[in-house]
Amino acid sequence: DKDWKVRNEGLEALESLLAANNNRILPNGLHDLVTLLKTRLNDNNKSQVKAFIVFLGKFATALGSGVKNFSKILVPELVKNLSDKQNIIRSETLVTLGKFSAEIGAENVINQLLPLLAVDNPELRTEVINWVLSNADSLNKAEVRANINPVLSALQDKTKEIRLLAEKLLEKCIGCIGAQPYLIALKDLKPAIQQSLKPIIEKC
């Protein structure tokens, strides 16, 4: 509905449905609902976005492992909110990501997060790296090899703090797949970038 108040009533009705069923639901017949929930994560009304992010956490918990069927639709849209300037939006997104992680495994969330390091956004890069580092035990089960270039991209960030964070992440990734894939990928970058990044990779 165009009226946010009506959308809010719909959200409250969904929350009541979850509560009435002891916060446990089956993953049947939910495709249209999931598609709508995905669009609401881009709402112009920030308080609505926050409310839907919080609901998604409850939704993931209520579905349990069944949320895996929908995670490829919801998680990529959810993580985009980590680039939001509002701290409350980012922090609620992190809480909800934790709930998805509990049900589908942190490695599946990491697989959705690592490609975002290619986006030049300080909030996004900071939140993504911190989340992955706090779940680094799952990196060896994640698609680290498929996300070499996003990590190299974060190592070139304008901000020193983010570059240092990216180094910590690189060290963990090298622990999983070795340094060679990063050194090979370097060859596709400009000579000046190669010169600045090669020592960092060798140090890690």
CB 117 within 8 A of CB 149: no
Q: How many whole angstroms separate alpha carbon 113 and alpha carbon 105? A: 13
Task: Note the pLDDT tens digit of each residue in 61-94.
Answer: 999 999 998 998 999 999 999 999 999 999 999 9
Residue whose structure tokens are 């939006």? 89
Q: For a pLDDT cut of 90, what percent of the chain falls above it? A: 98
CB atoms within 10 A of CB 32: 8
Task: Note the pLDDT tens digit of each residue in 33-61.
Answer: 999 999 999 888 999 999 999 999 999 99
Backbone angles phi, psi at 119, to 5 degrees: -85, 125
